[in-house]
Amino acid sequence: MKVYPTILLINPRATYYREIAQKCYPPLNLLYLAASLRQAGMNAIVIDANAMRLSDSEIRSRINEVGDVSIVGFPLHSEMMSEVRALTEIARSALPKATIVLGGPHATALPDDTLNEYPDVDFILRGECEDVFPAFARVCAEGGDYSSLHGVSYREGVETRHCPTPQPPDISRIPFPARDLLDQAYREGRYYSLMIRTRPVETMLTSRGCPFRCSFCYNTKRTYRFRAADDVFNELVGIHERGIDTVEIVDDNFSVDRSRSLELFGLLKKEKLRMRFRIKCRVDSVDEEFLLRARDAGVYQVSYGMESGVQELLDAMRKGTTVEQNAKACAMTKAAGMACHTSWIVGFPGDTPERIWQTVGFIRSIAPTTVNIEFLKPYPFTEVYMQAKEKGMLVNDWTSRSEAIPWVKLQWMKDKCDVEHLLRRIYRSIYLRPRYIWQFGSLALLEGNMLIARYALQQFAKTIRN
């Protein structure tokens, strides 16, 4: 059996890694890749610089400790471009002969720009890479023609060569993530969710893709594939055997295939696998039966991307849902005895201060358990990004040379500071109310969740800044 050199996968630090974050989850993407590399007979190591809060010098030391490394890989998300650039420079300095590769959504969307932005990077692996990466690593180790591969982009003289786009892998045959590679982080309770006192919290994927067409979403390919309920259940059994009982299912839309979801709920209830779950659903895909069966299976929280309390904006976003469905989903979820988390976007084209405060009033009226409001992020090649760029509304662009996030300037906005000040006012108007003060105070004092108290103080300090 051929012995291959080590492949090192590094999860970058989040931009907010110095703060208390709402959550810190395992790098499932890298653990899937590591499992596929192992299955192909290759040695993979994963360093989670984010969970372990590693400094640049500590990352360099970890790289040097690994020893004989042939390939170093990083995932690239748009928000983390400058962080990843710094890490590629560290990797190149520590391992001058290694092959450095990038993958992930940003590198897939903009392979030419990415190779230009990252001079230390040798290759881009596009798309879902569980099949692509082992084939690429084999060519690197044994020699061969890169042009015969799928999903690979690389420099060829002054030009960039793009091999054919690969077919998405069959997710029913991908090995379960190699979670044992991060046993130290699990043992130390590095993976958590703010609302849950127990650690670690695990994550898993039961489907990939999304068939919907929201104009702000980075998921621009509309393929949707799901795993069979018994396959999902078997992975959950393995997680439970590792001593973990809280899992976030990180599918974009867990409830797209209703019958499959209900089948899994039935299995969990029948086998009495005592675990707790958080799922993400669309507001138009749940009803009382679905939510009650979810609760009986162990679901403690349902998360919804509600986005706006103004119908005209939901229509402009191509969300395909209504304000009334937002309200109904929230009410049904709470009535079923589960927490209701909601996400919202401000600053979408067509938004105005009056519409923003209309949404705030709507949030107050439906009173979800938790609320996350973000200023619109125009991800590359999304519909809203392309329109904003065409109309001259896009301020800055995605680059590894700056930590600033591009934004869409609407007619009523003077600069981004005005928007950030508005967001702070919104958070104060929602969370500094008796309902939420009591809710989070109870979690901190009655349930002993002191992390949430520290987080609340951190966020409160932000909201009172001028």
Can you give the three-state secondary structure of the chain, one letter per residue?
CCCCCEEEEEECCCCCCCCCCCEECCCHHHHHHHHHHHHCCCCEEEEECCCCCCCHHHHHHHHHHHCCEEEEEEECCHHHHHHHHHHHHHHHHHCCCCEEEEECHHHHHCHHHHHHHCCCCCEEECCCCCCHHHHHHHHHHHCCCHHHCCCEEEEECCEEEECCCCCCCCCCCCCCCCHHHHHHHHHCCCCEECCCCCCCCEEECCEEECCCCCCCCCCCCCCEEECCHHHHHHHHHHHHHCCCCEEEECCCCCCCCHHHHHHHHHHHHHHCCCCEEEEEECHHHCCHHHHHHHHHHCEEEEEEEEECCCHHHHHHCCCCCCHHHHHHHHHHHHHCCCEEEEEEEECCCCCCHHHHHHHHHHHHHHCCCEEEEEECCCCCCCHHHHHHHHCCCEECCCCCCCCCCCEECCCCCCCHHHHHHHHHHHHHHHHCCHHHHHHHHHHHHCCCCHHHHHHHHHHHHHHCCC
At 444 the pLDDT is 78
At 452 the pLDDT is 79
At 80 the pLDDT is 94
**Tokens of residue 146, six digits:** 């890169």
Burial (Cβ within 10 Å: 0-12, 13-18, ≥19) of residue 374: exposed
How far is Cα 321 from Cα 328, in angstroms, rounded to an integer?
12
Single-letter code of the amino acid located at 70 = S
At 149 the pLDDT is 94
At 457 the pLDDT is 78
Instruction: Give the residue range(s) of CATH 3.20.20.70 domains in the chain.
Output: 188-431
Query: What residue ranges of the chain have pLDDT lower than 70?
Result: 1-3, 220-222, 460, 463-466
Instruction: Give the residue range(s) of CATH 3.40.50.2300 domains in the chain.
Output: 6-162
At 36 the pLDDT is 97
Q: How far is CA 5 from CA 33, 46, 102, 346, 446, in A?
A: 16, 14, 18, 48, 52
How far is Cα 220 from Cα 268, in angstroms, rounded to an integer?
33
Strands 370-375 and 69-75: unpaired
CATH for 6-162 (3.30.360.10, 3.40.1160.10, 3.30.365.10, 3.40.50.2300): 3.40.50.2300
CATH 3.40.50.1450 fits 188-431, yes or no: no
At 196 the pLDDT is 87
pTM for the full predicted model:
0.95
How far is Cα 292 from Cα 59, in angstroms, rounded to an integer?
46
